[in-house]
């Protein structure tokens, strides 16, 4: 099973969409192994967005992401990164397809509701910023045999 990082950003929390967004991942059959609401520290924001350091939008992004609580999640499943990215939709809400999180709830460039790891390597870097290994639950859903075929469960 692959693991990915997903975060409901301040605009998603402030618009009371966190529960509906989390439900999308569960409906798809993904397993939430870590979940918490936090007020992200400046250090966590810098670590998360370190790949954007030096870009014109970096300071604004750090200020925005630390402005209000966020919901951070570690999610597992078959092809978790690519499946989650499809659920998110295009980065800018006005470009996102209906049926995706950003397509259904977003219309802005900067207020795009959600962050998701863009690769398994990014997930491995991002998850430890917010979760210790001991905070990640190890379990299987009772219906896993009805979500994934046997070879996909590994």
Tell me: the pLDDT tens digits for 71-85? 999 999 999 999 999
- C-alpha–C-alpha distance, residues 46 and 39, integer Å: 14
- C-alpha–C-alpha distance, residues 21 and 121, integer Å: 24
**Considering the entire predicted model, what is its pTM?**
0.94
Tell me the domains of the chain and their CATH numbers: 2-153 (3.30.70.141)
Question: What is the full per-residue pLDDT of the chain (154 aa) written as tens digits?
Answer: 899 999 999 999 999 999 999 999 999 999 999 999 999 999 999 999 999 999 999 999 999 999 999 999 999 999 999 999 999 999 999 999 999 999 999 988 889 999 999 999 999 999 999 999 999 999 988 988 888 888 887 7
Where in the sequence numbering do the catalytic residues fall?
115
Structure tokens belonging to residue 2: 């692959």
């Amino acid at each position: 099973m692959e693991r990915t990082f997903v975060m409901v950003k301040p605009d998603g929390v402030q618009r009371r969409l966190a529960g509906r967004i989390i439900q999308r991942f569960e409906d798809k059959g993904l397993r939430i192994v870590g979940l918490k609401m936090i007020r992200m520290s400046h250090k966590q924001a810098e670590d998360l967005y370190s790949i954007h350091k030096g870009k014109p939008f970096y300071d604004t992004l750090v200020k925005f992401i630390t402005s209000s609580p966020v919901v951070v999640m570690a999610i597992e499943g078959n092809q978790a990164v690519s499946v989650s990215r499809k659920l998110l939709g295009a980065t800018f809400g006005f470009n996102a397809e209906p049926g995706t999180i950003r397509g259904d709830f977003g219309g802005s460039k900067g207020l795009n509701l959600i962050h998701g790891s863009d690769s398994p390597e990014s997930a491995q870097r991002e998850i430890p910023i917010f979760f210790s290994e001991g905070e990640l639950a190890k379990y299987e859903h009772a219906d896993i045999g009805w979500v994934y075929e046997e070879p996909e469960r590994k």
